[in-house]
Each structure stands twice: as structure tokens, then as C-alpha cells.
Structure 1
């Protein structure tokens, strides 16, 4: 979300978070009001939701630097931003040859097949509710809740997403609330209930706190 309207919504969201949670209020004073919808992929995926979802899949449980390297190999082989047709033409074997695991090659191939067949209209999800969008995305082999939530935040710009299973979010909560241990997923969800309907902004703030204090990518 960009422009004046997006800035106004961001300011309003952080004002509401600060009013409802004194810990978040202190974090806003320290870390500012980050835009949760900025996704710095270096322009690799353009406006393609398919390519973005592919990058989210590639990035599961590996560093962003490695994910970019693997994605770029595929993009080079497809002659630009990958689309379902060019990925299917490569086939799982060549995808594995670029350094993907057998599982991730299979996941990406399934994603491409579903998008090409129309089972998943990934470029036209704006009219779906958050729950409907998550259901549609997690029907793809290998796309779990975390990957779907990243897509909802970064591609669909949904304002009330809290990826409770994200280890960065959980670590940031443990630090900010001086907990003795990292909270469980259910504990994160419970704590985040009071942040609705701006949980994507709370998530961005939690990520920012780690970026600044630990050098962890948000």
C-alpha cells in the first residue's frame, strides 16, 4: 500500500496499537512505524503474484540470500520473470538442477499447474476474505500457513495478519515483554487479539525491533 491513503492508514493503525498496548507504544517510540507491505525483493517478481509465491516457497527455511540465488537461476532459465508456462516447461528435474530440493521442486511445479489450470487464480484474489485466501493458497502442495500469511501481507496487503508461527515474531515478543521463554503459537495469537484489526502493522513493528537490535532480516 503506497501513497497518501496508505500513509494515513499506517499512521491510524499505529495510533490504535499504541493506545491499546503500552508495550507496542514504547516500541513505536523506539522503532518508528514501518510499512508492513513493503517487500524488498529487488524487483525480481515484478507484479506477478505467481512469481512472488514461488519465491516464498523457495525461501522456506533458508536464508533470503540463498533464496534469491535459486530464484534467479530459474528466472534466467525462463528468460525473465517466471510464469506457470515457463516453469512447467522446465519440469521438476531441471528445477532440482538449479539447487532446489526435491520437495520444493514438486511444490513449485504444483503451484504452476494449479495457476495454469485456473484452480488458483493467484492474480485475482483481492475479493477473497483472509480466510478464503489462506484456504486457496494452502491447497497448493507445500504451501503452509506461514507462506500463505507472507503472501497475504506482502502481495495482498492485508492489514490484520499475525503470523504467529514466525520465529522472529515469537522472539520479538519474548524480548519486548521480557518473557522467560519464547511464547507458543497459541500464546502469540492470544496476545495479538488486542491488536486487531491492525495485526500486520504489529507484525512489521516486531520484525523491525529484531532488525535493529539483532540484525535479523524482517
Structure 2
């Protein structure tokens, strides 16, 4: 069943099997996690421009996935011409093109707020649109020629866009291989589960989560495949949740 503005995906621009083999050889403990999870099935969001990817990222910040998806859909559909919104079962979706940066900049505040954007997110969306139009947010062709650090520096100029948001774009839109989002909660928790003393049944406290320098020190051996290592650390959290559920069922 189609979902609102169904996101097309594309293959990674590198061989994940090569990354898995290198990581397993470089770090046996990480290798045990990889063996338990299985092959890396990460996909890229293959149809999004930098503007579209960052717009979605802003909407999703500090919200659960379902609520964010609803707001994102409403926002995009608010720009759709009459007749372009259809339904597949209970799910609405639009066949209309994604709104442009100029559309977003010209939209009245009432339209953005009616879609569910907070005041701060509406301001961030407008700033993203303005900085896309003035070239601060590069085109996809230009951004592909930039280093990771250059991309972070450029995009962090947008209101509401910090290093974490750019790191997600580097991993899941641009397919960069060597990104380790040390501020990401899931990556930190996965690190603690894999390399620390945290157990699946434990309640996580701030003391359980590793500091960035600890993560970066171990991750030196993962380079140039730290993005794939991060993907497996997220999967460690999924495994822990499944293990915890099985423990509850067994009691």
C-alpha cells in the first residue's frame, strides 16, 4: 500500500559486504554483533534533494515517527493542487511534485502552522528555503563534490540544522561511508550494549552511555566504514528490545 509521498530508495554507492568483512576483521566484538544481525540492508533515500531531505529532517526533530510522518504529509499536501491527492485504502498520498523552496518561502504562516509545525520549526523551514535559494544549501550535484566537514559547515548555517541532522543526511542520503554520529542516542546505546556493561533488561541512565571520546577512540579501527558500524549499533538496540520482550514473555 503506498504511503504518503512514498520515498524511493536506491542502493548504496559502496559494497556493504566489503564493509562488513573489514569491520568484522578489525573489531571481533563488533563482528559478533554483525554476525547476529546479519547482512547490512541499509538503503539510501534516493529521490530527495538536499532541500527535501533537510525539510523532512526538521519536521521529524524531537517527534516520534508516526506524529512526524503525519505532519510531514500534511505539510506537503497543503501545497498540492486540487485532485492530486488520492487514497490507497486508508492512506492518503499525493501524486503532486514536492513543493519548491520558493513555494515554502511564500507560504503564509497559517498554512505552515495548520500542518502542525511549531513556531520554531516554521521559522526553520523558512530559513531552509531562503538558504536554498541563496545557495547556502548546495545543489545535490555540488554537495556530492564536498567533503563531509564542508557539508556540515554549510548546512549547519540553517536555523534548526545541527551536526546530527547533517550526519543523518550524509549516511542515508549521500551514502558517505565514514560517519559516526557520536551524539545520537541509539548509536550511544548500541555502543554501550556492545562494548560496555549495559544489558538488554537494564534501564538506561546517562552514566551508561559512552562519551564521544571513548567512541571515537574505538572507532579508529572501523574507519573508513564507520557509517556501516553505526547502522549495526542501531540494530544492537533493536536486538536488545527484542531480547527484553522475550524475557517479559517468559516470566
The yes-or-no answer on 1:166 pairing with 2:175 is no
Equivalent residues in 2 for 1:84-103, closer than 5 Å: 84-103=101-120
Decide which of 117, 130, 133 is 1:116's aligned counterpart.
133
The yes-or-no answer on 1:105 pairing with 2:122 is yes
Secondary structure of 1:78's aligned partner = coil
Cα distance in structure 1, aligned partners of 2:121 and 2:216 = 28
Shift of 1:36: 3.6
Once the two structures are superposed, residues 46-74 of structure 1 have per-residue CA deviations (whole angstroms, 9 ceiling, x without a partner) of 43331111111111111111111111011
Decide which of 30, 33, 40 is 1:27's aligned counterpart.
33
Decide which of 210, 224, 240 is 1:213's aligned counterpart.
240
Cα distance in structure 2, aligned partners of 1:38 and 1:121 = 19
Quote the residue 1:66 is aligned against.
67
Shift of the 122–34 alpha-carbon distance from structure 1 to 2, 3 Å rule, reads same
Quote the residue 1:42 is aligned against.
none
Equivalent residues in 2 for 1:184-195, closer than 5 Å: 184-195=211-222
Decide which of 135, 144, 155 is 2:173's aligned counterpart.
155
Q: CA RMSD in A?
A: 1.9
Once the two structures are superposed, residues 60-102 of structure 1 have per-residue CA deviations (whole angstroms, 9 ceiling, x without a partner) of 1111111111110111011142320211121444212221111
Quote the residue 2:5 is aligned against.
none
In structure 1, runs of 5+ residues without a counterpart are 40-44
Quote the residue 2:58 is aligned against.
57
Q: What is the number of residues matched between the two proteins?
A: 207
Shift of 1:123: 2.2
Shift of the 54–70 alpha-carbon distance from structure 1 to 2, 3 Å rule, reads same
Cα distance in structure 2, aligned partners of 1:92 and 1:134 = 28
Cα distance in structure 1, aligned partners of 2:221 and 2:138 = 33
Cα distance in structure 2, aligned partners of 1:37 and 1:134 = 21
CA contact (8 A) 2:190 2:235 kept: no
Shift of 1:187: 2.1
Larger C-alpha radius of gyration, 1 or 2? 2
Cα distance in structure 2, aligned partners of 1:200 and 1:161 = 5
Greater strand percent: which structure?
2
Instruction: Report the more deviating stretch, 158-167 or 78-87.
Output: 78-87
CA contact (8 A) 1:162 1:199 kept: yes
Quote the residue 1:2 is aligned against.
11
Shift of 1:206: 0.9
Greater helix percent: which structure?
1
Shift of 1:152: 0.7
